[in-house]
Structure 1
């Protein structure tokens, strides 16, 4: 009989210790906010995306709603789904790019949240509250699907050939049917921004690479911040240069509750 793969805690520990900096920060924020809701239950109402409450004074909701979750199960499933996708994104584009896109009033918070709010208020004329990092999960899945599509345009199911880029949309539909209280519109909003990023239509939202390199060198981010990922992967490698010059290797690159939830 074939043996089942065994859980290796050492591999899990090694993977967690190798997570890049921005991924660690965002995951910590998700877990910390969930923990804070235990004594302060009002935080969910404060952070959730409720379309009727979005105005110039509450734009912060577009940034906080992916970090807030309805309960522990909701939070842990989203963390497990988000971690490998976010880690891969940061490893490819660098810590500064990831930080600029996932924090502040930037593309990956403002755009999907804004689209969801617009669809709810203008088209559906509803006020469904959403929260959860699954909007980022589907955003990153859509971006990955575009890359996979360029290398492998189709996959086959029986006699049918299905475009690879549409696999996140299939997953969105399946989850909307199987998992109660999930937001189809929210997940589609996240996937839509992921497609725009994957096809290069919103890459202009990232600061120019020359500016990012200047910031890195001026602040010496590679030397000061552990697990920092350089924007210039080809020159510095995944985590920059080694911090020691011993044996002449110092300059060599290092290898590398109310409301509706958005959840898996």
Structure 2
């Protein structure tokens, strides 16, 4: 009897993936869980989740301000969810490890969601005179990439592309442009707004919105968050310092059709 052929090795180590997932901090876990829950809810037909939670410029003010915070959790299909999760998880995990769980909650439920949304609404309504809805957590992916590119620029100002030396801070902008060219129906404006807010964060202009450390320590001590919440990252457990940005190496439409904000800027409008 012929010996069955051996299966090819997996392109990744399942044990390492499991270890990485087990060590994810609390806020990152909650964000990923919320994204998955909203995607599962999209499978039913009673409640139009995408229509409810997408960022629709004409519908935000004054009665639907919640859209400024819900749109990053809403996605348009399985592949949209998968690609966004793969892109967002390492970036958000490092951010939380660097800044702490409470700071991550305050920023991502506040200015790091509402500021890109506000810029998008201004550009969409008053410059482009459109009302194209957007959804997807790649708004955070591009924001974090923009922030990281500022830090990279400080230590490694240029990267080489053939005979050209290109400033490293332009890499998220180049990604926006390439994806807009390669993928049809993408929201270049949405990702551009995210990159701009990421630049502001990386340059330190948004420090004013970070809760004071004394307040965070008081809340943590009063509620005993470190003892009660598994995978919680306290102010005193931060890895890379209070206001630094992400650690990095020196390696060189219509209102019914929201626009996806996907992995590395791959946004697509729902429908045709």
With the shorter chain as reference, the TM-score category is 0.7 to 0.9
Pick one of 68, 71, 88 that aligns with 1:62. Answer: 68
The offset of 1:41, in angstroms, is: 4.8
The offset of 1:259, in angstroms, is: 2.2
Which sections of structure 1, spanning at least 5 residues, go unmatched?
A: 239-256
Contact 2:25 2:233 in 1 (8 A): yes
The offset of 1:125, in angstroms, is: 0.5
- The answer to whether residue 6 in structure 2 is matched with residue 16 in structure 1 is no
Q: What secondary structure does 1:161 align onto?
A: strand
The offset of 1:152, in angstroms, is: 1.0
Residues 129-151 of structure 1, C-alpha deviations (whole Å, 9 max, x = no match): 11001111000001111111111
Residues 214-245 of structure 1, C-alpha deviations (whole Å, 9 max, x = no match): 111111111111101112236xx79xxxxxxx
- The answer to whether residue 139 in structure 2 is matched with residue 132 in structure 1 is no
The offset of 1:61, in angstroms, is: 0.3
**What are the residue-to-residue correspondences of 1:154-169 with 2, within 5 Å?**
154-169=158-173
- The answer to whether residue 43 in structure 2 is matched with residue 38 in structure 1 is yes
Q: How much is the aligned-residue C-alpha RMSD, in angstroms? A: 1.8
Query: How many residues are matched?
Result: 240
Pick one of 139, 146, 155 that aligns with 1:151. Answer: 155
**What are the residue-to-residue correspondences of 1:1-264 with 2, within 5 Å?**
6-39=11-44, 40-103=46-109, 106-233=110-237, 258-263=257-262, 264=266
Contact 2:132 2:257 in 1 (8 A): no
Residues 130-188 of structure 1, C-alpha deviations (whole Å, 9 max, x = no match): 10011110000011111111111111122211111111111111111112222000000
* Runs (4+) off by over 4 Å: none
Q: TM-score, normalised by structure 2?
A: 0.84
Task: Tell me which residue corresponds to 1:247.
Answer: none
- Distance in 2 (alpha carbons) for counterparts of 1:188 and 1:197: 14
Residues 10-52 of structure 1, C-alpha deviations (whole Å, 9 max, x = no match): 1111000000000000010001001011114511101001111
Contact 2:54 2:134 in 1 (8 A): yes
